[in-house]
Structure 1
């Protein structure tokens, strides 16, 4: 009986520590833009996450472009200087309440 109880206790403990991330992040949908028009990154965060850990990053942009993110620590932010035709790729990441890092990419064309 002791062995069965110990097995159940170890099984429950193992199941408890193997839980995955407890939040989600969304960078929005890939979209098309017109040069000279305002560009907005509109991310969303679900579940327990540290809002102070939110960070947008510009991963790639066309040669000769000089785009910048207005406020990289805000879910909703503007992108400035989108002046070259091509694909601009952004990533948003944050830290869940359980310490797991999450990220998602989005592209503007």
Structure 2
């Protein structure tokens, strides 16, 4: 449910976060990028295409853009719903997606996209 100051409800935000993160997961799997391995997200954001299987340069560029979108969506989510509610939504989406994709994106060593 939405408060008068909210543009989107928590449910709408959760769907948006899941849609963005699912697209990221699909692109990472297609490009053979193990995003959840230590340091890989930073390498993608730094435009280091060596983490991507050869021949998937277009997918890598889209993956990189989607990662930036991921962080922008999370910033807006926290701004609108507050950091505690935002963290809850992000955690639910992460758990749901990890259940679906297993270890195809690597392992959750020390960190993952927050």
So what's the TM-score if we normalise by structure 1? 0.29
So what's the TM-score if we normalise by structure 2? 0.28
Larger Rg: 1
Which structure's residues are more often helix, by fraction?
2
Higher relative contact order (CA 8 A, sep 6+): 2
